[in-house]
Every structure is written in structure tokens, then in C-alpha cells.
């Protein structure tokens, strides 16, 4: 079963590369084989596939995306991919419907040794805003595991390649830009940390750094 999972994973990654020619731009520091939470902007359901695709393989297989159970458990195919292929940490976004706290689930995954990919905006951003306000979960995880490093990621263009509601993806060159890791600082309160984290992601967008828009 695990072998089939790997094969499907490589098929998905291969297809993502075919459409997006995605490149990882480790702008501030090289990828490190240390437990990490990658947090990114969220514009498309394919977001974590791109982050996953550009992670070096030795990091990729221990990195689990945190994804919405209310999306990934709605059909047998999605459920298979979510559970067996990408090994997602499936959280329920609807407080009234869930029996487990998402923060606890993430902490549990961290304690199991995994790295995580999270989208702190909480939902796909189809507004004109570059980045929605962050949900507080990222802060609570940081409080419970204060030593963990958080690496900001900016995913560019995937919303053009696959806008919400379209089925056929259009080839666009997409990039994942990784910034310098941040940590929760001693005595840092919720607002300060969320603001700092959000700004770290925004600083990676091409609008903030025009010359970084398309590689070298």
C-alpha cells in the first residue's frame, strides 16, 4: 500500500511540475533537515502540492500538510489521497462539528516527528487582498512547542493556473519563495506574533520585492 502511495505522490508531483514548472527559491537560507512548520499564503487547493514538490525529498516525506477534513474527506478519491498519499493532518474547520482541537492535532503530529505545512489564513484567498489576516492556531502551536522554527513561504501564480471553480489548469510558471525562519520570542503576545508572521510571508511576495519575481 505504501508503495502505491509513493507512486501516486510522484504522479501528482510530476503533473504539478508539468503545469507549473515550479521552482523553490530558498531566498534567505538553504533548506535544513530540522523539524519545521512551513506557513504559506493560500490561493488554491494545489498549494501544498507545490510546497511539497520543491522540498528536497528527504524533507518531503516527513512533511505533512495540515488540510481541511471538510474538503478532503468528501469523496473516496480525495480521502485516499489525503490519508494515504500526502498523509495530511486533517483538521475540521467547523468548531461545532469537530471532536478534536486542531491545535492538539498539530502538536501531536509535531511530537510524532513530522514537519508541517500550514495555511494560517484558514481558507483560500480569492479577494483582492494580498494576504488575509491569520487565524490564531499558529500562535497556539508556537506557545505549546516554543522551540519549533517557522519558515514563511510565498506561493506565486498558482491562483492564476488553477482559479477556484476551474477544472482544467493553465500552465503558468509558479514559484515558492522561502524566507528566513522565525521563532516565538519570550513574552511575545498573540497579536505581535501573528503580525510578525504575516509580514514575513508578505515580504516574500513579488510586490514587496520586484526583482525576485521571476528568479535570478
Partner 1 sequence: MDHETLMILMIGVLIVLAVASLIGGVLAMRVGDGPNRSVVENLNARIWAWWVMVALLGLAFLWGRPGVTILFAICSFNALREFITLTNARRADHWMLAAVFFVVLPLQYVLVYTDWYGFYTVLIPVYVFLLKPVISALRGEVEDFLIRVAEVQWAAMVTIYFVSHVPALLSLNIPGFEGQNIQLVAFLIIVVQASDVLQYVWGKLIGKTRIAPSLSPSKTVEGFVGGVASATLLGACLWWITPFAFWQAGIMALIIALMGFFGGLVMSAIKRDRGVKDWGDVITGHGGFIDRLDSVIFAAPIFFHLTRFWWHV
Binding residues for partner 1, per CB under 8 A?
21, 23, 157, 160, 163, 166, 168, 170-173, 210-211, 213-216
Whole-number Å distance between alpha carbons of 39 and 139: 12
Of 185, 180, 160, 155, the closest CA to residue 170 belongs to 160
Cell 505549546 locates to 144
Least distance between partner 1 and beta carbon 178 (Å): 15
Least distance between partner 1 and beta carbon 25 (Å): 9
Q: What is the DSSP letter of 182?
A: B
Least distance between partner 1 and beta carbon 50 (Å): 15
In terms of Cβ atoms closer than 10 Å to its own Cβ (0-12, 13-18, 19+), residue 140 is middle
127 or 189, CB closer to partner 1? 127
36 or 159, CB closer to partner 1? 159
On whether the CB atoms of residues 38 and 148 are closer than 8 A, the answer is no
Least distance between partner 1 and beta carbon 27 (Å): 13
- Distances 56 to 27, 61, 118, 178 between C-alpha atoms, Å: 15, 9, 18, 13
117 or 158, CB closer to partner 1? 158
54 or 138, CB closer to partner 1? 54
Least distance between partner 1 and beta carbon 174 (Å): 9
- Distances 64 to 33, 52, 114, 115, 135 between C-alpha atoms, Å: 14, 9, 7, 6, 19
3 or 168, CB closer to partner 1? 168
Least distance between partner 1 and beta carbon 10 (Å): 20
23 or 83, CB closer to partner 1? 23
User: b/e map of 155-192 (b: 16 or more CB within 10 Å)?
Assistant: bbbbbebbeeeeeebeebebbbbbbebbebeeebeeee
Amino acid at each position: 500500500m505504501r508503495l502505491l502511495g509513493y507512486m501516486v505522490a510522484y504522479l501528482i508531483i510530476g503533473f504539478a511540475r508539468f503545469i507549473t514548472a515550479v521552482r523553490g527559491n530558498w531566498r534567505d537560507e538553504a533548506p535544513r533537515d530540522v523539524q519545521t512548520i512551513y506557513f504559506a499564503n493560500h490561493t488554491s487547493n494545489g498549494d501544498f502540492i507545490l510546497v511539497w514538490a520543491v522540498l528536497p525529498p528527504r524533507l518531503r516525506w516527513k512533511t505533512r500538510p495540515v488540510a481541511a477534513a471538510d474538503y478532503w474527506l468528501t469523496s473516496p478519491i480525495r480521502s485516499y489521497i489525503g490519508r494515504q498519499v500526502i498523509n495530511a493532518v486533517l483538521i475540521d474547520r467547523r468548531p461545532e462539528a469537530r471532536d478534536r482541537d486542531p491545535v492538539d492535532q498539530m502538536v501531536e503530529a509535531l511530537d510524532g516527528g513530522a514537519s508541517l505545512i500550514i495555511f494560517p489564513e484558514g481558507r483560500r484567498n480569492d479577494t483582492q487582498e494580498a494576504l488575509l489576516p491569520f487565524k490564531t492556531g499558529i500562535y497556539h502551536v508556537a506557545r505549546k512547542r516554543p522551540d519549533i522554527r517557522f519558515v514563511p513561504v510565498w506561493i506565486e501564480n498558482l491562483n492564476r493556473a488553477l482559479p477556484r471553480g476551474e477544472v482544467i489548469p493553465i500552465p503558468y510558471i509558479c514559484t515558492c519563495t522561502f524566507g528566513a525562519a522565525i521563532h516565538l520570542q519570550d513574552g511575545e503576545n498573540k497579536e505581535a506574533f501573528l503580525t510578525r508572521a504575516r509580514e514575513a510571508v508578505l515580504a516574500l511576495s513579488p510586490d514587496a520585492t520586484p526583482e525576485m519575481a521571476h528568479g535570478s
